[in-house]
Amino acid sequence: MSTNRVKVGIVGLGRWAKVLTKASKSSDQIEIVSGYSRSEDTRQAFGREMGISAVPDLKTLLADPQIAGVILTVPNEQHLPLAREVAMAGKHVYTEKPIAATLEDGLEIEALESRFGITITVGHSARLMAGIRRIREAIDAGELGRVGFMEANFSNERALELTPATWRWYKSRAPGGPLSQLAIHQFDVLHYLGGEIVEASAVASKLSPVGAEVDDQSMTLLKFADGKVGYVGSCWTSPGVFAVRVFGSKGLMHYEIDFGTWDTPSKLHENSTLYIQRGKDGYAKREELKVPESDMFRIELEMFAASCRSGRSNELTAHNGNVAVAVVNAALRSIERRGQLVAIAEMIAEARSREGARHVA
């Protein structure tokens, strides 16, 4: 392992911090050297399990001159205040998706880059899956012809397990249920594969028997700047699935993973499906493609390390993170308007106005 790895800290030492820390241990480009949580018990448990020292306060972590950047794996509403503290300390920021709890917070996080001369990396890792990258390669090479339609689904059984003691029970904390928690991954994936998203229309429903406040079924239609269309479905009352399909004039490609290996992406290739149908060939003549081994979490951390080293943004930008949140907001607005199309630019303009008003206040 390289001794020249970029050294970073991590704040928020729960389950996802452990997932990312484990991913970092296989990298020769990044090293998590220090962690912080408000809970002493959590700090001690994390230190024992991960073999990484935990500091008693954030000030100590930020004062460490060897730390070039900080990973935030904290609740969404804490992203902005903590990102601001990290940026003020002159350190680069990695924040888990979504970029923030609100779009105006996300835009303020984006503004930290120019204000403090640091970079923001947002953990939209799904676009880094090997199968998604292969589809993008086929699109760029013209292998699929002109792409006119895309579809994606990300679903699991979360709504069947909710209780009032879990934060996802509440509309204020998980607006739209799977829309804001799962579909947001696919909004970023389709943005990556299809380019600028200009409008969204959505419907939602509540079918889980547990009685949570949130909707648990959603479907969002998307319109892209070049005219292509697509949709993202997300169900919170079914077995887990993550699938993407892209339709072009010369062929279509389908990619699907075993959701059970989401937390261990280095194993995704073992049970993934990737195929292409060409021309007028039917499903029986599809060409099965090998999915190479990869690790989306290690890759995103290495992108963060590269930004810490160079001071230049990587493709997991704050802007892309904000687009994903804006699409969620547009879908939520559309649900309120019974499926009316809502412009993504409208959502961003409104958020910028609210952001400006609170600074004036």
Domain ranges of the chain: 6-125+298-315, 127-294
For residue 3, pLDDT over 80 is answered with no
Higher pLDDT, 269 or 324: 324
Name the token pair of 205: 């429903």
The answer to whether 313 and 113 are in contact (CB under 8 A) is yes
**Any idea what the Cα angle at residue 40 is, between residues 37 and 44, rounded to 5°?**
90
pLDDT at position 356 is 75
pLDDT tens for 221-267 read 999 999 999 999 999 999 999 999 999 999 999 999 998 888 888 88
Q: Is the per-residue pLDDT at 359 higher than 80?
A: no
Does residue 2 carry a pLDDT above 90? no
Q: Which fold has domain 127-294?
A: Dihydrodipicolinate Reductase; domain 2 (3.30.360)
Taking residues 324-335, what's their average pLDDT? 98
pTM metric for this prediction: 0.95
Mean pLDDT over 154-158 rounds to 96
Model confidence at 1: pLDDT above 60: no
Amino acid 266: pLDDT: 86
What is the rounded distance in angstroms from the CA atom of residue 104 to the CA atom of residue 271?
Answer: 39
**CB-neighbour burial class of residue 249 (10 A; exposed 0-12, middle 13-18, buried 19+):** exposed
- Predicted local distance difference test score (pLDDT) of residue 360: 60
Q: What is the pLDDT of residues 122-148, one digit of tens each?
A: 999 999 999 999 999 999 999 999 999
Asked if 6-125+298-315 and 127-294 have one fold, the answer is no
Q: Taking the CA atoms of 159, 160, 163 and 166 in sequence, report the sign of the dihedral they define.
A: negative
CB 55 within 8 A of CB 47: no
Nearest to residue 318, comparing CAs of 125, 67, 158, 99? 99
Give the helix ranges, DSSP H, for the chain. 15-24, 40-50, 58-62, 79-88, 103-116, 130-140, 178, 184-194, 296-310, 318-336, 344-360
- Examine the pLDDT at 92 and tell me if it is beyond 90: yes
- CATH number assigned to the domain with residue range 6-125+298-315, chosen from the 4 options 3.40.50.720, 3.40.50.2020, 3.40.630.150, 3.90.1150.10: 3.40.50.720
What strand order describes the sheet that includes 147-155?
A: 287-288, 273-278, 251-257, 241-248, 147-155, 229-235, 217-224, 197-205, 342-343
% the chain with pLDDT above 70: 98
Task: Name residue 26's amino acid.
Answer: S
Which of left, alpha, beta for 121 (phi over 0: left; psi -120 to 50: alpha)? beta
